[in-house]
Amino acid sequence: MKHPFAALCAVMFLSMLLLLPPVQAQTAAVAKRHAGPFSYDVTQETTLKGTVSSVLTRPSQGMIMGSHLLFATSAGQVDASLGRFGLRGKGALSVAAGQQVEVTGVMKTIKSKQVFLARTVKVGGQVYAIRNAHGFPVSPQARAIALRKATQNREAL
């Protein structure tokens, strides 16, 4: 008599498991709910072209922290956030007012203002990495390592 009862309990337990919603759906919903203003989705990236109007090593009042690149596009002025490492260290972005740039990134509304979170900046054929594909700022140390690896790869060829 114990065996039929155990079988019935197992069937009931498995039935309950089948009725639970998938864990994946719960995870996606939680991730979407916790996406903040600085979240970065590479699938939402755009590339903007324009002329640099100014380069700010420090933010003006009301801007988010870090350095900024202000440039004029055909659609108007854009504030591109370069983060705290964009203009620092070896391999940092080198740009001046009047130069043409191509900036790839994601537009966000932060503190009620539009800010373009730059991932890469192209100036005169040179591409500078500002953030990685997840939106995290590329540090001077990470740029140095990437430069060293690129040099080693060229020498190996």
pLDDT exceeds 80 at position 34: no
Q: Report domain extents, the chain.
A: 42-156
Question: Once rounded to an integer, what is the mean pLDDT over residues 112-116?
Answer: 93
Question: Once rounded to an integer, what is the mean pLDDT over residues 66-81?
Answer: 96
pLDDT of the residue at 35: 60
Measuring CA to CA, which residue among 156, 157, 108, 98 is closest to residue 131? 108
Q: Are strands 46-56 and 67-73 parallel, antiparallel or unpaired?
A: antiparallel
Which CATH number applies to 42-156?
2.40.50.140
Q: From residue 104, give the alpha-carbon distance in Å to each of 2, 119, 155.
A: 67, 6, 30
Measuring CA to CA, which residue among 106, 122, 130 is closest to residue 49? 122
pLDDT of the residue at 7: 62
| End-to-end alpha carbon distance in the chain | 75
Question: Once rounded to an integer, what is the mean pLDDT over residues 5-30?
Answer: 54
